[in-house]
Amino acid sequence: MDPLSQTVRWARGADRILVLTGAGLSADSGLPTYRGVGGLYDGIDTADGLPIEEALSGHMMKRDPGLCWRYIAQIEQACRGAQFNAGHAALVELEKHAQVVVVTQNVDGFHRDAGSSKVIEVHGSLRRLFCMGCGRPEDTPDYATMAIPPVCEACGSIVRPDVVLFGEALPGDAMHAWNAEMHLGFDMVLSVGTSSGFPYIAEPVIWARRNGIPSVEINPGSSSVSRVVDLRWPERASVALPALVEALG
């Protein structure tokens, strides 16, 4: 079965498409993939002798914000200057053919930069900070000039990025929005550049299989949903997604 032809057939019959994206989509923008935005801490401890899951945890942000912020800053620096790629742009073009809901684990903000209309950032975004004391928000922070850890100009408390650290709950507003979209239903599910290691990322693919909804995985490697999807497209997102929208016309 030709992955492109079959995906095009399903996409042409879909009014609503759910797209689940992970770090693999942003890899072609030059971003390392995750475990600690991968490559940085892939399978090794941090310089402080801690697993990245502990260094970048909500517990550590409260106990030792300086240490936690040190690794947040390293991740941000690795991403600094990168831009959205052809895969992100193709998802915007896909909106000409169907209503597209993007649910992303990425915190880089590239989907919004590219112009996707409906984006649910389940892990938050590095583009937003807020004060842990008074809750004062700060958009588009300048990481290059801020002190580590940064403090709130209003109350002097520690400021942190609006992202989900290890051990923290997913943001309620994002999950509410996602549940509302799932309630409306979808005609197709695309899993793009994600290992689907989190149950809440794998579950929509399982839901699609149970309900006879076509599902496609776009990923050079295998994942936890590779045996669940109707079709595996072993290709980079920045290649497969532009090919899809071009074939759709």
The pLDDT value recorded for residue 36 is 39
The pLDDT value recorded for residue 42 is 53
Please state the rounded mean pLDDT for residues 83-92.
97
The tens digit of pLDDT for each residue in 89-119 reads 999 999 999 999 999 999 989 999 999 999 9
> Is the pTM for the entire model greater than 0.95?
no
Q: If residue 52 lies in a helix (H) or strand (E), which one and from where to where?
A: helix 52-55
pLDDT at 39 over 80: no
The tens digit of pLDDT for each residue in 138-157 reads 887 888 899 999 999 999 99
Q: Which of 59, 88, 123, 176 is catalytic?
A: 123
Q: For this structure, is 88 an active site residue?
A: no
Give the domains, in start order, of the chain with CATH numbers: 3-31+82-123+168-248 (3.40.50.1220), 52-81+129-163 (3.30.1600.10)
The pLDDT value recorded for residue 115 is 97
